[in-house]
Structure 1
Amino acid sequence: MFDKRIIGDRLHHVFQNWPKNRQEGKKLSRQTTYFLLAAGLVFGTGAAAFAQQFTGGIRGTVSDTNGVIPGAAVTLTNEATTVPRETVTNAVGEYNFPALAPATYTIRTSLPGYKAYERHGIRIATQQFVTLDLVLEVGTVEESITVTADAPLIETSNASQGGVLDRQSLEDLPAPGRNAFMIGVTVPTVLSVGEPRFNRQQDQMVSSQLSLGGGGVQANNYTLDGVPITDMRGFPVLNPTIEAIDDVKVQVHTFDAEMGRTGGGVFNTTARSGGNAFHGTAFYQDRPVWGQSLEYFSEKRGATKKSSGLSESFYHLYGGGVGGPIVRNRTFFWGATEGYRDQVIQGLSRTWPSARQRVGDFSATTLNGAPVRIFNPYCRDGIVNSRCPASGTGSLATGGEFVNAIIPRDHPAANPVAFKMASYWPLPQGSNENSLPNVDTTVNLPDFADMLTFKGEHKFTTNSSLSGL
């Protein structure tokens, strides 16, 4: 274990003498480099320790017909990046590959005197821990046993319960608003109670209206590559585009020690990564006006697409993703984008002032069938003042009431600015003055949003890597 005080003293010495070393043209010694690396590990991993786990793992034993085999070499290779990881079975024949990024792997084991064993297509999903025991047969190393198709592996190393939405599910299943979290309703005991209309990429509220395993609504946790993206209200701060997601593990019942923070379930999301081959996707969706129809009652009124405003509506949804190698077998990237342009027509019913009302004449105005009465608010104290005269309409003599509900323009309580503003108001379609709507119209409601994500990954060695999103 490193002593932070020793590392701190060493770092102080290094940086204090840095100019001198540079002038002399000297490079940092290997020992100094080790201290810098150790300092980064000690001081720089504190924040990562609090991140919830999204990586998986695979472990098991290597054996033959007589029992376990210690010292057998086991190699696990990422099929997309061809980056291998190697280990050797311990004294009891066990091997372990922890902290595996979600991907598809090939495992191979060999030992002199035995046939090499190789298995392809091992899918490790988000926080999936698989136990796979390998059985070797006596033979030469040149002989091999290759398994290319087998039954899906059952996860027995994890206490959490739920389901995984893999790439195939994310692409095939219907997603309201292309919201990956909403596809979680396909997992048993996941229920949505939100308003299904509001599911755009910027609508975090609806995607949080989910109950997992009978848990509370807005009591779930959302993570992206192990980092919580849940705010204090229980909303995800973003809805990542499906083009940028590798899979989503919907953990209905979380019994693992690293899971917490909320009382409900967890949407454990892994961002998509690139590989040694370039891949890309693209999509476009349109809702042409010619394929839409008017509402039933609009047709009965004889409205047309033009008169109703439907002809001016549109919807365009677009996006895609691309990824591949920057440096083969070493550095990879994946970028994705999604956006939409939308305009809908909404009908409005409003009550606008009539020609008489805008000049202060409310004598014909009724409310619930009864004539309205209008009072001067400046007379409520029962004292004559500059805006409450002693006599006349709207005065102290009438109790502040305007006679016949008419407000004279020259009354001291009248506001000339308000009269001027009312004169610019459009005239209503109807002549009724009974406080019911007298205007039926439509308005255009434009809406748009864009999203861009990028993930880079670099492999330093077969056992260490760095990724950023």
Structure 2
Amino acid sequence: MRHVIALAALFSASLFAQEFRSTLAGLVTDPQGAAVAGAKVRLRETATNTGYEATSAVDGAFTLPFVPPGDYELSAEASGFKKYVQAGIRIGTNQRLSQNITLSLGAITESITVSADVSQLNTASASVGQVISTAQLDSMPMNGRTPLSLAQLAFGVVPASDPRFTRPFDNAGPSGFSMGGGQGQSNEILLDGAPDMTRNRRVAYNPPADSVAEVKVEVFQSDAAYGNTGGGTVNVVMKGGANDFHGSAYLFNQVSALKANQFFSNAASRERAVTRFNQYGLTASGPVFIPKLFNGKNKVFWYFAYEGIKQSEPEPTFSTVPTDAQRGGNLSQLLSVNSIYQVYDPLTGAREGARVRRQPFPNNVIPANRINPVARNILGLIPGPNTTGGADGINNYFNKAVRSDNFFSYLGRLDVNASDKHKFFFSYRINDRLEDRGRRFGTSVTGNLLSRVNNGATFDDVYTLSPSMLLNTRLNWTRFTEGSTRPHDGFDFTSLGFPQYMAAASARNVIPFIDFSNFSDIGESGGDRTPFDSFQIFTTLTKITGKHSIKTGIDIRQQRESSNAFGNSDSWQPMIQHLLNIFSCSSRKIWLSV
């Protein structure tokens, strides 16, 4: 088991660290440009009515930190001035935005509405980044509809993975890119500001595209808190609930009728294998509402998303299998192809000086009483030829094998606006992938079942201790479990003639792995299982002093990895030696590593 603990103390003049929320700051002045102190500045999210308040300082400066992405209305009030209202403000992910407010003389009961845009120019930080907005996520094509894959289109990002494998259940493909000249797959991948990575920095959880608000790609981050990366940082920001009920449903379907046949399938005169990619899902959100008991409008909101994928992809394969005659020991046909296929009797060796000469089997036929019964039983697991192949039988079996994936994903989130001073959210996510691949003969004697299961939870709390001091606490947990089992898991190999003590000593009973030097292999090891846990406690305390913000905090991380591998017997031998029970190499493997 491996434990990794990271602890960092952060002191910075920049406000955010591993943060998906933004800051809106500016000055409140009168028509002559003089500072207005004591003005009440309020930012209201239009979807939830969630408010963020600040009071302008002596120099007129105000700062509104920890503002989630969304659409807002900005207002300001001061005695002797008309109320200032500015609607249509769009705030993105991890931005430092500037908006000055000019108040007009008049009664506070009067108001003036402006429509000027908030400045998107970041003058408070040297960080270099790009936001992929909701509109871009909705309109840009995505192979597999994986939002993280769009990060590869940002400036300073170089793709380093196969573009075919960027589906939601792919982990290396969507995160396989380099940033700012760093190594590929060495970046920090965040989900709502929290780590979302496997042990080797692949992405752990890919949320449904309809659940993502924005993707922030930062090639260079000057904030002291961003240290857990060899390149850049990508922050995927999720949607939450609102006062109105919303929902969506989708279905994307690719079927065999629209696909061409595989080259090797055509060459073998075989029909198309089943090909499909069915991706479907739904989202729903709104306020928590229990008739006659609780109305969470403006206070408590929920969000739910589900996605499922069923994919089948042809992987046609040619194999070399023994004929019925060869299984019975008759290899005379091979001798007519080439003399190198002459089989010699290992029990007839006679020394001639420094050499040993053995006698060939008459007509290249092994007597039936010389064939090992275990070997005969093992060959019974392998099908016979179904195509001509070469003159010596090479590639005499064709199978339109199919690689299939079954995947589902769930996401739940609860946002609570306890007061203007206290806001928090909790989210839980899970996805599960099962890949069935490598069945060369269309049966369970070969192949692998790859399983990847991810669970994660995030709790994030922002509390305003005073108008100029805020505390943010985040707890995050991710568990990514990857493992392999065999389609023949549970196989009773004593039925092949192996002794009972071998089965009793095996961690998993599977078909023994036999590596034929001139025929296709069968069997496999017992598989493996590797769970990886990542824990984070992240806390920052922010003090606002006029135009400046001072922040201090800690980032504590612990990582745990356990690995279990299940062995079984294996052997390497030419098929002839297999029949005669003469092993070139054999071993018995039973191990458990932690």
Shorter-chain-normalised TM-score: which range?
0.7 to 0.9
- CA distance in 2: counterparts of 1:455 and 1:172, whole angstroms: 25
Structure 2's unaligned 5+ residue stretches are 1-6, 11-15, 289-295, 428-594
**Does the 8 A contact of 2:98 with 2:118 survive in 1?**
no
Alpha-carbon distance, 1:445 to partner: 3.1
Confirm whether residue 447 of structure 1 aligns to residue 405 of structure 2: yes
Matched, 1:422 2:391: no
Corresponding residue SS for 1:176: coil
2:333 matched to 1:333?
Answer: no
Q: Label 1:83 to 1:422 Cα distance change in 2 as closer, same or farther (>3 A).
A: closer
Q: Could you say which residue in structure 2 is the equivalent of 1:132?
A: 99
Asked if 2 retains the 8 angstrom alpha-carbon contact of 1:126 and 1:269, the reply is no
Deviation, structure 1 residue 389: 6.4
Per mean C-alpha deviation after superposition, the further-off stretch among 328-337 and 155-164 is 155-164
- 1:186 Cα deviation after fit: 2.2
Decide whether aligned partners of structure 1 residues 199 and 406 sit closer, same or farther in structure 2, where only a CA change above 3 A counts: farther
Other-structure match for 1:217? 184
Give the residue type in structure 1 aligned to 2:318: S
After superposition, residues 282-361 of structure 1 pair within 5 angstroms as: 282-294=249-261, 307-310=270-273, 312-326=274-288, 327-361=296-330
Relative to structure 1, is the Cα distance of residues 323 and 149 closer, same or farther in structure 2, using a 3 angstrom cutoff? farther
Q: Output the CA distance in 2 between the equivalents of 1:447 and 1:154.
A: 44
Instruction: Using the TM superposition, give the Cα deviation of residue 364 of structure 1 relative to its aligned residue in structure 2, in angstroms.
Output: 3.5
Match of 1:436 in 2: 394
Deviations 1:302-347 (A, max 9, x none): 95xxx5134x433311012111111111101111111111223332
Query: Hey, what's the Cα distance between the residues in 2 that align with 1:453 and 1:431?
Result: 51
1:353 maps to a residue whose letter is P
2:404 match: secondary structure: strand
Q: CA deviation at 1:424?
A: 5.7
In the alignment, residue 318 of structure 1 is paired with which amino acid?
Y
Mapped contact 1:287–1:314 kept (Cα < 8 A): yes
Structure 1 residues 443 and 232, CA, compared in 2 at 3 Å: closer, same or farther? closer
Opposite residue 406 of structure 2, the aligned amino acid is F
Shift of 1:454: 0.6
Q: 1:366 to 1:274 in 2, by over 3 A?
A: farther
Structure whose alpha-carbon radius of gyration is higher = 1
Structure 1 unaligned regions, length at least 5:
1-45, 380-387
Which residue of structure 2 lines up, in the alignment, with residue 59 of structure 1? 25
1:162–1:253 contact (8 Å) kept in structure 2? yes
Q: Distance in 1 between matches of 2:322 and 2:192?
A: 57
Asked if the contact 2:45–2:70 (Cα under 8 Å) also holds between the matched residues in 1, the reply is yes
- Counterparts of 1:399-410 in structure 2, within 5 Å, are 399=358, 405-410=364-369
Cα 1:367–1:420 change in 2 (3 A) is: same
Q: Residues 88-167 of structure 1: matches in 2 within 5 Å?
A: 88-148=55-115, 150=117, 153-167=120-134
Once the two structures are superposed, residues 11-64 of structure 1 have per-residue CA deviations (whole angstroms, 9 ceiling, x without a partner) of xxxxxxxxxxxxxxxxxxxxxxxxxxxxxxxxxxx9999982222111111012
Contact 2:389 2:397 in 1 (8 A): no
Match of 2:196 among 190, 211, 229: 229
Q: CA separation in 2, counterparts of 1:281 and 1:48?
A: 43
In 2, are the aligned partners of 1:355 and 1:427 still within 8 Å (CA)? yes
Change (3 A) 1:375 1:323: farther
Q: Cα gap change, 1:351/1:162 in structure 2, threshold over 3 Å: closer, same or farther?
A: same
Question: What does the per-residue CA deviation read over 1:140-193, in whole Å, with 9 as the maximum and x for residues that have no partner?
Answer: 323322124636632322322121112111111111221111111221121212
Q: Which amino acid aligns with 2:315?
A: Q
Q: 1:405 to 1:261 in 2, by over 3 A?
A: farther
TM-score normalised to structure 2 length: 0.63
Contact 2:39–2:56 (Cα < 8 Å) also in 1: yes
Residues 401/262 of structure 1: CA separation in 2 closer, same or farther (3 Å cut): farther
CA distance in 2: counterparts of 1:163 and 1:359, whole angstroms? 68
Q: Which has the higher helix share?
A: 1
CA distance in 2 between counterparts of 1:447 and 1:104 reads 39
Residue 421 of structure 1 and its aligned partner are, at CA, apart by: 3.5
Measure how far apart 1:121 and its partner are: 2.0
Instruction: In structure 1, give the amino acid aligned to 2:82.
Output: K
What is the SS of the residue equivalent to 2:309?
strand
Q: Which residue of 2 aligns with 1:10?
A: none
Shift of 1:74: 0.7
Per-residue Cα deviation, 1:206-240 (whole angstroms, up to 9, x for no partner): 12210112221011001112211123312122222
Q: Which secondary structure does the structure 1 equivalent of 2:243 belong to?
A: coil
1:404–1:60 distance in 2 versus 1, CA, 3 Å: farther
SS in 2 for 1:108: strand
Aligned to 2:546: none
Amino acid of the residue matched to residue 416 of structure 1? P
Compared with structure 1, are the counterparts of its residues 397 and 56 closer, same or farther at alpha carbon in structure 2 (3 Å cutoff)?
same
What is the SS of the residue equivalent to 1:276? coil
Distance 1:87 1:348 in 2: 67
Contact persistence 1:162–1:250 (CA under 8 A): yes
Asked if structure 1 preserves the Cα contact closer than 8 Å seen for 2:311 and 2:406, the reply is yes
Q: CA deviation at 1:370?
A: 5.6
**Distance of aligned partners of 1:353 and 1:448 in 2 relative to their CA distance in 1, 3 Å threshold:** same
Shift of 1:66: 3.7
Counterparts of residues 44-55 of structure 1 (less than 5 Å): 52-55=18-21
- CA deviation after TM superposition for structure 1 residue 399, in Å: 4.5
Q: Counterparts of 1:55 and 1:48 in 2: how far apart (Å)?
A: 20
Equivalent position to 1:75, from 29, 42, 47? 42
Q: Is the aligned partner of 1:172 residue 2:144?
A: no
| Contact 1:119–1:146 (8 Å) recurs in 2 | yes
Considering fraction of residues, name the structure with more strand.
2
Amino acid corresponding to residue 373 of structure 2 in structure 1: P
Rate the CA distance shift 1:403–1:139 in 2: closer, same or farther, 3 A. Answer: farther
Cα offset, 1:249, TM superposition: 0.4
Measured after TM superposition, the shift of residue 455 of structure 1 is 0.8
1:253 aligns with 2:212: no
Higher RCO (CA < 8 A, seq sep 6+): 2
Q: Alpha carbons of 1:95 and 1:348: their partners in 2 closer, same or farther (altered >3 Å)?
A: same
Tell me the TM-score normalised to structure 1 length: 0.78
Judged with a 3 Å threshold, the aligned counterparts in structure 2 of structure 1 residues 48 and 357 are, in CA distance, closer, same or farther, namely farther
Report the secondary structure of 1:356's partner residue: helix
Aligned to 1:468: 426
Amino acid at match of 2:372: N
Q: What RMSD, in angstroms, separates the aligned Cα atoms of the two structures?
A: 3.0
With over 3 angstroms needed to count, the CA separation of the structure-2 counterparts of 1:425 and 1:222, relative to structure 1, is closer
Identity %: 28
Distance 2:63 2:194 in 1: 25
Contact 1:366 1:435 (8 Å CA) reproduced: no
Q: Which moved more, 1:107-116 or 1:148-157?
A: 148-157
